[in-house]
Amino acid sequence: MKQSRGLTRFITAGSVDDGKSTLIGRLLYDAKLVLNDQLNNLKKLQIHSDKNHDFDFSYLTDGLESEREQGITIDVAYRYFSTKKKKFIIADCPGHKQYTRNMITGASTADCIILLLDITKIKNGELLEQTKRHALIASLLNIPNVIIAINKMDLVNYDKDLFFKATESFKKLLASINWKIKFWAVPVSALKGDNIVNQSLNMRWYKGNPLLQLLETCDKTACSNNETTVIPIQFVSRWNTKTSNAQRAYCGKIESGSLKTQENLKVLGSNQTVTIRKILYRSSEVLHAKKLWSIMILLENDVGLSRGDILVENKTNFETKEVVVDIAWLDDQPFAANKKYILKQGTLETTAKIFLKSKFDLDLLTTKTSDFVSMNEIGTAVVKTAKPIINIPYTYKNKLGAMVLIDPTTHQTAAALLIRN
């Protein structure tokens, strides 16, 4: 990690009751980022976590009534805060297995993940299944910064040997899922505030930084300027439609690469090429547009594009109708081998058939041959589509390799797909 300014998105993940919401609440409270009216409202709820506190810190993120009644997080809770060094958006993700799809949603835009481990639940070096699942998902999403917060150290008398054993267990997990990434481990007590914002006096043996300082030094990987240009069309704007001076412009975000006027692009899945006549960004005309800019373009030769069309660099040829993906099944309806699903990649939509090859066994931490996945299972599959899609492997810096499957009968999201290298 190296220090950088700007906005960092991070998520908290881990198994149920590991203390994710409590950690975020404590972080906001100790950093003096909670407004007085929020504190007063929490005190009125008369939720006492222990004799040293007059409210439950998890209430700062668990906003749904059902969450407070059950004492769990259900939906992804987003919070914004800033320090003198950096701005943050937190996604507090649910730990229950049945809400894995919510965790994937929160993790898909994260620059950093705080994976919580409950020190009291690690028996004989064995991590919980949902902890393994969240780590596997984070590895597939290539989240570049990983912090392991080993929580509830106060319940084991701040035992440093247990902390180091838990760290070794996580190292073994990373090796088993082949995730080669450096991580930072910090012993914490979210309830007591140890090593959250300030250095703990109860764990003087820990020589690293507290959690907030680690977050402030997270490196947000810069975008590359050498990527292939890809622009999914999101909206078509028309004016003067009843006159001879009718014009049409196309709106979309530059998902990869960059764009300049007079550049030639081709329409994915066809032999048509277009030339960029004008680029508008924030209502102003520009000659050059960068990655992630939302722009409006006018063409020299209008070919009648519509939402779902994708403009790509003219010299490239990465369109395909067959691709290998990692698949996370999210629907409570089981996978059907002969069913045609709706596949969405950006604004592009087509039908697809899925051929399962294997799935990951979270108990044995191995991959086994399988032609079936059920809810919350993760595997590998071959996707065959009716229309061409973009064959770009998913990375942290290029999310075009992410797709979703939709059940055409129920219109529920069936699975998340990531194109493999």
What are the distances in angstroms from CA 213 to CA 117, 157, 351, 409? 19, 24, 47, 48
Can you give the pLDDT at residue 92?
Answer: 77
Can you give the pLDDT at residue 45?
Answer: 60
CA nearest 396: which of 138, 209, 106?
A: 138
Q: Is the Cβ–Cβ distance between 130 and 115 less than 8 Å?
A: no
Can you give the pLDDT at residue 226?
Answer: 64
Query: Two tokens at 217?
Result: 């030094």
pTM above 0.85, yes or no: no
Q: How many CB atoms sit inside 10 A of residue 391's CB?
A: 16
**Domains of the chain, earliest start first:** 7-216 (3.40.50.300), 230-313 (2.40.30.10), 319-419 (2.40.30.10)
| Blockwise average pLDDT, block size 10, the chain, 421 residues | 69 85 86 77 57 59 46 64 89 72 82 94 89 90 93 96 96 91 94 94 96 89 68 87 75 92 90 92 94 93 88 83 94 90 93 94 84 89 94 78 94 93 76
Can you give the pLDDT at residue 395?
Answer: 78
What are the distances in angstroms from CA 327 to CA 321, 359, 400, 420? 17, 9, 15, 10
Can you give the pLDDT at residue 199?
Answer: 94
Can you give the pLDDT at residue 212?
Answer: 95
- Spell 135-155 as b/e; 16+ CB within 10 A means b: bbbbbbbbbbbbbbbbbbbbe
Can you give the pLDDT at residue 20?
Answer: 83
What are the distances in angstroms from CA 147 to CA 12, 197, 218, 246, 314? 10, 15, 10, 55, 41
Query: Two tokens at 214?
Result: 């680690």
